[in-house]
Amino acid sequence: MKEWTFKVYIKTNGRDAFEDWIKAQGIDAEEKIRAMINLLSATKIWDRPHFAKIHGSENIYEIIIKGKDKQYRPLGCKGPGPQVFTLLVGASKKERKWNPPNAIKTAEKRCKLVFKDERSVDTYGSRARSTKKTP
């Protein structure tokens, strides 16, 4: 049963910011990241080792996925709405360094936009499904 709904930030050009990032990570990473999102969507309470609040940030959280040589850390915020988590920025972390370096600041800006104008979000996966070709 689904406990949480995932949403994604949509850029002003209409692109799904998270989907663009996840596709660039390669198939192995993409599968791990999508599996973690599926796990969290069915988990009532989120905590370490898979989820944590970003220290020093009021509203930004990270999903923690261990990869082969780095950790994938999609950043997001809770809301808008109950039991909703919005993916704002795809990021990774290696040796305490974020990639991209401005990931947290970007997530904070996007979080404000999401709550100001809910048109800047869409349901996670809806755009990815709509672009897949059927056999």
pLDDT, tens only, 4-37 = 999 999 998 988 989 999 999 999 999 999 999 9
The pTM is what? 0.89
Q: Which fold has domain 5-121?
A: YaeB-like fold (3.30.2310)
CA-CA distance, 32 to 34, in Å (whole number)? 6
**Residue 50 Cα distances to 25, 37, 65, 72, 131, angstroms:** 19, 10, 7, 11, 29
User: Where are the domains positioned within the chain?
Assistant: 5-121
CA-CA distance, 76 to 108, in Å (whole number)? 9
pLDDT, tens only, 56-83 = 999 999 999 998 888 999 999 999 999 9
Give me the residues paired with residue 121 across strands: 9
pLDDT, tens only, 79-108 = 999 999 999 999 999 888 999 999 999 999
